[in-house]
C-alpha cells in the first residue's frame, strides 16, 4: 500500500472548513459537548475542521466551534485545548480516489462501530479511510475551477503548469487545489 503525504495541506486556498466522513460507516466526525467525538449524520453536531500547519510543519486539526483541536487520549479521538503535544499532531495522507487516512504517531484513526467512537490503531482498509468535504463557498468555487482546469489539461487545453494570476496552486490527483 502506497501513501502520498500532502505537504502543506493546511495552506488550502482561502482557508476552508473541512468535514471528515468515514468511508466505511459513511458517518461524519461529530461532537455534542466539545469533548467527545462520535459518528453521526446530524447536521448540528458535525465537526467542521480547519487544517493548520505550524512553522515546524506539524499539522493540527482545529475545531473552531469549540476552540479545540483533535487530540488522542488513551487511543481515543477527543477534542481538547491545544497544548502542542505529540498526541495533537496529525498527518493527512492521500490514499486513493478522493480518500484519505488521518494518522497520529503512525497509527490511523478508525471508526469503532461497537462504541460509536473514533480510535487509533493499525492502518487497514475500510474503517480507517476518510473522505473530505469542503464547507466554504470560496473553496467550492476554487474546486470547480480546479476540476475544470484538470479537465482542460486532460482534454484540448493542455495547461500543464496550473498557474493563474487568480489562484497560484498545484493539483494532486484528487483535483484539490493547494496553495504554493
Mean pLDDT in residue range 76-102? 92
User: Which fold would CATH assign to domain 4-134?
Assistant: Trefoil (Acidic Fibroblast Growth Factor, subunit A) (2.80.10)
- CA pair distance 91, 170, nearest whole angstrom: 19
- Strand ranges (E), the chain: 4-5, 18-22, 27-30, 38-40, 49-53, 59-63, 68-73, 76-80, 91-96, 99-104, 107-112, 117-121, 129-134, 169-171, 177-179
* 64 pLDDT higher than 80: yes
At 46 the three-state DSSP class reads strand
State pLDDT tens for residues 110-141. 999 999 999 999 887 667 899 988 875 444 44
* 86 pLDDT higher than 70: yes
Task: Name the one residue in this structure whose C-alpha cell is 478508525.
Answer: 110
The residues, any chain, with a CB within 8 Å of residue 142's CB and separated by 6 or more, are 13, 14, 167, 169, 177
112 alpha carbon, distance to own chain's centre: 19
pTM for this entry? 0.69
- With bands split at pLDDT 50, 70 and 90, how would you rate the model's confidence at 50? very high
DSSP state of 36: B
- CA pair distance 119, 22, nearest whole angstrom: 12
- Which residue ranges does the chain devote to CATH 2.80.10.50? 4-134
Amino acid at each position: 500500500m502506497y501513501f502520498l503525504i500532502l505537504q502543506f495541506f493546511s495552506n488550502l486556498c482561502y482557508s476552508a472548513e473541512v468535514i471528515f466522513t468515514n468511508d466505511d460507516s459513511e458517518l461524519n466526525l461529530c461532537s455534542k459537548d466539545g469533548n467527545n467525538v462520535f459518528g453521526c449524520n446530524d447536521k448540528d453536531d458535525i465537526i467542521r475542521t480547519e487544517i493548520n500547519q505550524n512553522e515546524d510543519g506539524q499539522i493540527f486539526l482545529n475545531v473552531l466551534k469549540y476552540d479545540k483541536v483533535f487530540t488522542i487520549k488513551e487511543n481515543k479521538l477527543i477534542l481538547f485545548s491545544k497544548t502542542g503535544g505529540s498526541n495533537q499532531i496529525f498527518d493527512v495522507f492521500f490514499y486513493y480516489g478522493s480518500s484519505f487516512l488521518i494518522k497520529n504517531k503512525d497509527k490511523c484513526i478508525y471508526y469503532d462501530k461497537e462504541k460509536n467512537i473514533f480510535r487509533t490503531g493499525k492502518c487497514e482498509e475500510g474503517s480507517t479511510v476518510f473522505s473530505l468535504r469542503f464547507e466554504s463557498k470560496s473553496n467550492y468555487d476554487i474546486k470547480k475551477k480546479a476540476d475544470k482546469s484538470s479537465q482542460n489539461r486532460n482534454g484540448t487545453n493542455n495547461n500543464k503548469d496550473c498557474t493563474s494570476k487568480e489562484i497560484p496552486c498545484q493539483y494532486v490527483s484528487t483535483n484539490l487545489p493547494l496553495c504554493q
